[in-house]
Amino acid sequence: YRDGQELLIPSDHYEGGTTEQPSLTIKKSNSTDMGTYRCVLTNSVRASANDSSIDVSVL
């Protein structure tokens, strides 16, 4: 999630963010990528979110 909105993964802009490749890479980042990112895990039983988040700034 970025700023509370679910990211569309896979896409041409992001790489990873899956159970097979949990790290998320932002390709060719720009100012629209700035925000607070959060990891949410889901399965057929429940969803779980880590209380940690990361703020991303683009210079």
Residue 26: give the domain boundaries.
Answer: 1-52
pTM of the model: 0.72
- CA pair distance 27, 12, nearest whole angstrom: 8
- CA pair distance 28, 15, nearest whole angstrom: 11
58 in a domain, yes or no?
no
At 55, give phi and psi (nearest 5°).
-95, 130
> What is the total residue count of the chain?
59
Q: Number of folded domains in the chain? A: 1
DSSP character string of 1-43: -BTTB---SS-SSEEE-SSSS-SEEETT--GGG-EEE--EEE-
pLDDT (tens digit per residue) in 6-50 = 998 888 999 988 888 888 899 988 888 999 888 888 888 888 877
Q: What is the pLDDT of residue 59?
A: 66
